[in-house]
Amino acid sequence: MTEYFIRRVLQSILVLFLITLITFGLIHAAPGGPTKIFLAPGLSQEAAKIQAHNLGLDQPVAVQYIKWVGGLLKGDLGYTFKNHLPVGQILWPTVGNTVVLMGVAWLLSLLIAVPWGIYNSTKEYGLSDQTASFVSYVGFAMPTFWFGILLQEMFALNLDWLPLSDMWTMGKEGNIGNLFMHLILPVTVLTLGFLAAYSKYARSSMLEVLEQDYIRTARAKGVKERRVIFRHALRNALIPIITVLGLDLPILVGGAALTESVFNWPGMGRLFIDMAVAREYSVLMAITLITAVVVIIGNLIADILYAVVDPRVQLGKGGRSA
Amino acid sequence: MAERLLEIENLTTGFMTEKGFVKATDNISLTIEKGKTLCLVGESGSGKSVTSLSIMRLIDYAGGSILDGKIVFRGDDLAAKDQEEMRKIRGNKIAMIFQDPMSALNPVFSVGDQIAESLRLHQNKSESEAWKEAVNLLRMVGIPAPEIRAKQYPHELSGGMCQRVVIAVALACNPELLIADEPTTALDVTVQAQILDLLQKLKQELGMSILLITHDMGVAAEMADRIAVMYAGAIVEEGTVEEIFANPSHPYTVGLLQSIPGFEGTRGKELYTIKGTIPGLGNLPGGCRFHPRCPHVMDKCKTQEPLDFKVGNDHSAVCWLYEDKAPVVLGRNGGETK
Amino acid sequence: MSANLNNDIAPGGQPSVQPQREDVQPTAPLKKPPGPWMTVWKKFSRNVYAMTGLVVVLIFVIAAILAPLLAPYEPSHIDLMFANLPAGTDNHLLGTDELGRDIFSRLLYSSRISLLVGFAVAAASVIIGSLIGSLAGYFGGWLDTIFMRFVDVMNSIPLLFLNILVLAIFGSKVSYMIMILIFTSWMSVARLVRGTFLQLRETQYVEAAKAIGVSSWGIIFRHLLRNASFPIIVNATLMVGGAILSESALSYLGLGVQEPDTSWGKMLSNAQEFMLIDPIQAVYPGLCIFIVVLAVNFVGDGIRDALDPRQKAMVSRRRLKQWRKDYSK
């Protein structure tokens, strides 16, 4: 077990290292290099040189990289170029806001999708199953931002039931009821997307398990159908669902960016888009790193859950290979 | 004649497939006597497994259904029962073991749990009682150190061990009928013999009847009291094991026996094979379903389905070859009753 | 099992009765069994959803190709005198936008870029993905290790972020967008091919091919890739939809297509600004994306279902009763 963890952590560090290399490399591969982008236009040659020196941009790329990584290890995410604000100060509040939005949407969709998918697997091609199939098709084909815009037009502009965008109404920051009203539309958008995927996964995973020999054995034993589904089949069906949940984490974070953008939600995804347009690379690098860390931790948790559910997986002995 | 435990009368089952409806068993009848073993022999795809699943009424879950006929078990027609009533019989009065022991056990539960579950279901035993009984059952089926094994998971056991566990699951509630669907096919030859011996021993100790399904005439010779030969969804020959081996009558049975390596009269010669392959169940030839592969085919075979002829004492075959030599058995499979 | 399997089954799924068997002569000349493509097409063409999807996709493709002929107006022609006209006025089929541009013409021209991106990304991803997946799966070793670590890295970054980052750094051009979408899409095909190869690498017929001296590339192309071809096609089809959605998202965010070019995502981004004045403008481009992606996904699912041998026809209780009745007659 400990050996497994050490190996996993080492692997994760390698992946993180590669990610820092890629992001850093991308920025330095930009036409003209970062110097041209980072410095305000219209500076005199002299002033540009001084500023480049202050920002450390006149040093070799390798030195810059090592300095940046060194700062990261100390918890220093760097400073923005424009106002020279600490990146952490801008970034951390948005992380919290994204967690609120995504957490609510994700939990809600899991709570609906998994039981629904299981139910549908027992009543294949029934009314409920066909509804789910319809929802999946719509969810997969509907551009999230378009769905968001339509909901805004309908419920905010036409009916005026719900706020158009943002996280709080001005002056009501911290009011839970107000937050709730603001959450409804973006959560609906996100939930449709997740629901489409997860109810399908849950259903097909259950269907596959229900065809297995051991399910027939359970029935041959005279086990009640309810018990066959919830005890014999469900635990096996959860195994692939857990894997998918782990692998989906980046989609979770990335998918939120569009929704956050449509609803002007002050989250990490929107910050990333804004900062990409403003070319604030230190912020972009920080966000990429944070999401990667979250994803890696999520996958680790998924692996542990996997081992808990499936006795065939022993974390100490190589586990499953990707 | 001994007391009849199970009588299948004119059972017809089928599946809906993409191409339409396909009959898997066609008007078959079988009898299993108390304490005796009936072997159902045939190639894969001949409808043997469907017959066993029909008795258990598990065919409903496999996408098939019973169209016609009766399955009378101790005076009750199982074909007319609903699933809730069947549930109380399954695993209790009739138990089943399957072909591939490794996949027949649920990978996420310990083997002890899986045995104890039957006991708790049908005999309302407490958890600790059921566990104790499960350990005893493991000992009975010849698993060493059963206390330790009971806590292990299927992937930690060998194939032969798993089949012993599957047998223990099936025997947990002392069933009157054990259906064994190719119980040794997936196992090594040495293990096969052990499992067959175990079944034979348990049958004598517990006094149960066995319906053994196999494609292997050798296994049938060792285990059976009676043999029924099945071909493409119908029973083509039936009789006591002695009769069938001494006087095989249907050309298909003859072919099956001749293709056993080392069977009398075949030693030293080239191994016999039945030409052609078994037809798909949706694609049966007209007349006798065996006629395209039959070495003795006559014109009549191509157009008319043969009747069941009594070819010996307690021995019948569905074949036109015996039309002039033997009396017809009425009410058996063949075209007569339908 | 061959083509004449149907003969035994009476129309309407009734169980066959004896007399019908007589016309099936085993001596009848056997037709050459249809190839795998034919079998799949046969099943596919019976699927209403899949066929509808295919027709819809074809209509959109033809419309995109013929856009210059079909469009009544120049798509980027600005005429502020005729801004925000309602649908149907002055030959503007769907009205005009805030700059007086004809919406219908813009939708037509938008489809060109959206579909181009969708198909180009899918096609290139399949080629690159198959190549890399073949190498990793066939040769294994350090090549495979590098591949798997790379996939790990890509799986740890939200791909949308990577797209945004690259377009922000290098500038927004359609060609860049296609390239970065390819870069972030090929992994699924590569993993699929790699998986198939790992499975088949040890099989007897590959061993046999090696033993008689077939070259590695011969084995890869003639034996292995062919085995993976159907799943790749399914994957590619679904990828077209994904790429169209990604394109529209990036253009919506202002990072994709730039003026005077237009795409559905770009139109949506405009429409959102003028949501209060003219809400219907946000409906058309979104609907186009939705319909095309839905149609493409129907086609992909249709192919997958046609490939799935396990697919069983479900039996309703009513039909079962009917068979029992028919049977006992």
Give the model confidence (pLDDT) of B20-66 as tens digits: 678 888 888 889 999 999 999 988 878 888 899 999 988 888 778 88
Cβ-defined contact of A213 to B118 (cutoff 8 Å): no
pLDDT digits (tens, 9 = 90+) for C293-312: 999 999 988 888 887 665 54
* Token pair 């002056």 in the structure block, residue: A171
**CB–CB of B121 and A310 under 8 A?**
no
Rounded Cα–Cα distance for residues C196 and C69 (Å): 45
User: How far is Cα A208 from Cα A228, in angstroms, rounded to an integer?
Assistant: 14
Higher pLDDT, C31 or A77: A77
Query: Are residues B205 and B281 part of one domain?
Result: no
Q: Do B207 and B262 reside in the same domain of the chain? A: no
Which residues sit opposite B239 in a β-bridge?
Answer: B227, B315
Q: Which of A23, A157, A277 sits opposite C275 (nearest CB)?
A: A157
* pLDDT of C3: 36
The pLDDT of residue A70 is 82
Q: How does residue C24 score in pLDDT terms, banded at 50, 70 and 90?
A: very low
Q: Are residues B35 and B174 in the same domain?
A: yes
Which residue, among C263, C251, C229, has the nearest Cα to C67 in the 3D structure? C263
* Tens digits of residue pLDDT in B67-88: 888 899 988 898 888 888 899 9
Angle CA(C10)–CA(C12)–CA(C15) in degrees, nearest 5? 50
Encode pLDDT of B243-287 as tens digits. Answer: 999 999 999 999 888 877 766 655 556 667 777 777 777 778 888
Instruction: Judge whether residue C200 has pLDDT over 80.
Output: no
Residue B254 lies in a domain: yes
Q: Identify whether residues B266 and B222 lie together within a single domain.
A: no
List the structure tokens of C15: 């169980």
Determine the pLDDT at residue C121: 94
- Write out the DSSP string of C224-291: IHHHHHHHHHHHHHHHHHHHHHHHHHHHHTTSS--TTS--HHHHHHHHHHTTTT-GGGGHHHHHHHHH
- Residues B286, B182 share a domain: no
Question: Other C-beta atoms within 10 Å of C155: how many?
Answer: 20
Closest of B330, B337, B311, B334 to residue B322, by C-alpha: B311
Query: What's the helix, strand, coil split of chain C in %, to 5?
Result: 70, 0, 25
Chain C contact for A288 (CB, 8 A cutoff): yes
pLDDT category of residue A1 using cuts at 50, 70 and 90: low
User: Is A217 in Cβ contact with B90 (below 8 Å)?
Assistant: no
* Interchain proximity A223–B56, CB inside 8 Å: no
In Å, how far is A3's CA from the nearest CA of chain B? 22
Does residue B172 carry a pLDDT above 50? Answer: yes
As given in the structure block, the two tokens for residue B293 are 């592969």
Chain A residue at shortest CA distance from B103: A213
The answer to whether A284 touches A275, Cβ cutoff 8 Å, is: yes
Residue C13: the pLDDT is 36
Position B169 confidence tier, pLDDT thresholds 50, 70, 90: very high
B143, B154 Cβ separation under 8 angstroms = no
pLDDT at residue C329, rounded to an integer:
44
Average pLDDT score, chain C: 76
pLDDT at C224 over 60: yes
pLDDT at C20 over 50: no
Using CB atoms, pick whichever of C9, C10, C324 lies closest to residue B67: C324
Question: Does residue C4 have a pLDDT over 80?
Answer: no
Q: ipTM, 2 decimals?
A: 0.85
In a domain, B219, yes or no: yes
pLDDT at A41: 57
pLDDT of residue A31: 60
The residue type of C47 is N
Using DSSP, how many helices (H) and how many strands (E) does chain C show?
15, 0
Nearest CA in chain B to C320: B65
Identify which of B153-157, C151-155, C226-230 has the greatest average pLDDT.
Answer: B153-157
Please, which residues 201-220 of chain C have a Cβ atom closer than 8 Å to chain A?
none
Last residue of a domain, one of B171, B203, B229: B229
Site from B103, B108, B117, B156 to mutate, A interface, most A CB atoms within 10 angstroms: B108
Among the partner residues B92, B100, B106, nearest to A218 by beta-carbon distance: B106
Asked whether residue B179 carries a pLDDT value surpassing 90, the answer given is yes
Question: How crowded is residue A75: how many other Cβ atoms within 10 Å of its Cβ?
Answer: 7
Contact C255 A29 (CB under 8 A): no
Cite the DSSP H helix spans in chain B. 48-56, 83-89, 101-104, 111-123, 127-140, 146-150, 159-171, 189-206, 217-223, 241-246, 251-258, 299-303
In a domain, B338, yes or no: no
The Cβ-side half-sphere exposure at C196, using a 13 Å CA radius, reads 23
Identify any residues that bridge with B238 across adjacent strands, giving them in sequence order: B228, B316
Asked if residue B336 is part of any domain, the answer here is no
Q: Report CB contact under 8 Å: A310, B117.
A: no
Q: For A294-309, b where at least 16 C-beta lie within 10 A, e where not — what string?
A: bbbebbbebbbbbbeb
**CA C141/CA C145 separation, integer angstroms:** 6
Q: Cα distance from C10 to chain B (closest Cα, Å)?
A: 8
Alpha-carbon A301 to chain mean position: 15
Minimal Cα–Cα distance from C2 to chain B, Å? Answer: 9
> In which band, very low, low, confident or very high, does the pLDDT at A40 lie, cut at 50, 70 and 90?
low
Give residues 130 to 189 of B whose Cβ lies within 8 Å of A: 153, 155, 166, 169-170
pLDDT of residue B18: 62
d(CA A206, CA C136) in angstroms, rounded, equals 32
Cβ distance A280 to A91 under 8 Å?
Answer: no
pLDDT of residue C324: 57
Give chain A's radius of gyration (CA, Å): 24
Residue ranges of A 168-207 with Cβ closer than 8 A to chain C = none
- B305: which chain C residues are within 8 Å (Cβ-Cβ)? 18
- The pTM for the full model equals 0.78
B35 within a domain of the structure (yes/no): yes
Task: Report which of B198, B4, B28 is spatially closest to residue B97, judged by C-alpha positions.
Answer: B198
Q: Are residues B20 and B75 in the same domain?
A: yes
User: From the CA of A214, how many Å to the nearest CA of chain B?
Assistant: 4
Of A30, A31, A254, the CB nearest to C160: A254
B2 versus C186: the higher-pLDDT residue is C186
pLDDT of residue A180: 83
Residue for token pair 């569905």: B318
Domains of chain A: 2-73 (no CATH), 96-319 (1.10.3720.10)
List the 181-200 stretch of C: residues with Cβ below 8 A of A.
Answer: none
Residue C152 has pLDDT above 60, yes or no: yes
Given B229, B261, B276, the domain boundary residue is B229
Task: Tell me the C-alpha to C-alpha distance, in Å, between residue B160 and each of A280, B114, B210, C119.
Answer: 65, 17, 20, 53
Is residue B233's pLDDT more than 70? yes
Give me the number of domains chain B comprises.
Answer: 2
Asked if B107 and A220 come within 8 Å (Cβ–Cβ), the reply is no
**What range does the domain containing B261 cover?**
245-322
Query: What are the chain A neighbours of B169 within 8 Å (beta carbons)?
Result: 217, 221
Q: How many CB atoms lie within 10 A of CB B13?
A: 23
User: Which chain B residue is nearest to residue A224, measuring alpha carbons?
Assistant: B87
d(CA B278, CA B283): 10
Residues of C in contact with B285 (CB under 8 A): 21, 24, 26
Is there a domain that residue B274 lies in? yes
Residues B76 and B175 in one domain: yes
pLDDT score recorded for residue C54 = 93
CATH number at residue B173: 3.40.50.300
Which is higher by pLDDT, B134 or A246? B134
Digit-coded pLDDT (tens) for A46-84: 766 776 676 666 677 778 788 878 887 777 777 777 777
Average pLDDT of the residues in C199-225: 75
CB atoms C21 and B22 under 8 Å: no
Min Cα–Cα distance to chain C from B280, Å: 7
Residues B84 and B195 in one domain: yes
Residue B127 maps to a domain: no
| % of chain A residues with pLDDT over 90 | 5
Q: Is the pLDDT of residue C83 over 80?
A: no
The residue assigned the tokens 């109380």 is: B88
Chain B environment of C315 (Cβ under 8 Å) = 16, 63, 65
Nearest in space to B164 (alpha carbons), one of B140, B182, B147, B186: B140
Inform me whether the C-beta atom of residue A146 falls under 8 Å from chain C C-beta atoms.
Answer: yes
**Closest Cα in chain C, distance from residue B172 (Å):** 34
Q: Looking at A31-45, B313-327, C126-140, which range is the least confident one?
A: A31-45
Place of tokens 């990304």: C121
Question: Do B251 and B316 belong together in one domain?
Answer: yes
Question: Is residue A100 scored above 90 in pLDDT?
Answer: no
B312 within some domain: yes
Alpha-carbon distance C253 to nearest alpha carbon in chain B (angstroms): 47
Q: According to DSSP H, which parts of A211-233 are helical?
A: 213-220, 225-227
Q: Over 70: is that where the pLDDT of B146 sits?
A: yes
Same domain, B171 and B88: yes
Q: Using an 8 Å CB-CB cutoff, list residues of chain A that contact chain B.
A: 212-214, 216-225, 232, 235-236, 309-312
Cα gap B182→A258, rounded to integer Å: 57
Q: How much of chain A exceeds pLDDT 70, in percent?
A: 87
Same domain, yes or no, for B176 and B301? no
Residues A178, A137: contact at Cβ < 8 Å?
no
Q: Phi first, then psi: what are they for A300, rounded to 5°?
A: -65, -45
- Exposed, middle or buried, C128 (CB in 10 Å: 0-12/13-18/19+)? middle
Judged by a CB distance cut-off of 8 A, whether residue C245 touches chain A is yes
Structural domains in chain C, CATH included, are 47-72+96-309 (1.10.3720.10)
Exposure string for A275-287, b = 16+ CB within 10 A, e = fewer: bbeebbbbbbbbb
Neighbour count for residue C289 (Cβ, 10 Å): 29
**What value does the mean pLDDT take over residues C251-259?**
83
Q: Give the confidence band of C1 by pLDDT, cuts at 50, 70, 90.
A: very low
With an 8 Å Cβ cutoff, are A26 and C169 in contact?
Answer: yes
Q: What is the pLDDT of residue B166?
A: 92
Query: How confident is the model over A235-250, as a mean pLDDT?
Result: 82
Contact check, Cβ <8 Å, B107/A217: no
**CA nearest to B18 within chain C:** C313
Looking at beta carbons, which residues of chain C come within 8 Å of A31? 170-171
Contacts of B104 in chain A (CB under 8 A): 213-214, 216-217
Mean pLDDT of all residues in B111-116: 92
pLDDT of A193-229, one tens digit each?
A: 888 888 888 888 888 888 888 999 999 998 888 899 9
C101 pLDDT more than 50:
yes
When mean pLDDT is compared across A99-103, C197-201, C268-272, the lowest value belongs to C197-201
Query: Is residue B19 over pLDDT 70?
Result: no
Report yes or no: B201 at the A interface, CB cutoff 8 Å: no
Question: C169 vs A27: CB contact, 8 Å cut-off?
Answer: yes
Q: What is the DSSP string of B153-170?
A: -GGGS-HHHHHHHHHHHH
Q: Is the pLDDT of residue C276 over 80?
A: no
Q: Please check the confidence at residue A169 and state whether its pLDDT lies above 80.
A: no
Nearest Cα residue in chain C from B276: C26
* Residue C25: pLDDT band with limits 50, 70, 90: very low
- Contact yes or no for B65/B45 (Cβ under 8 A): no
A220 and B153: CB-CB below 8 Å?
no
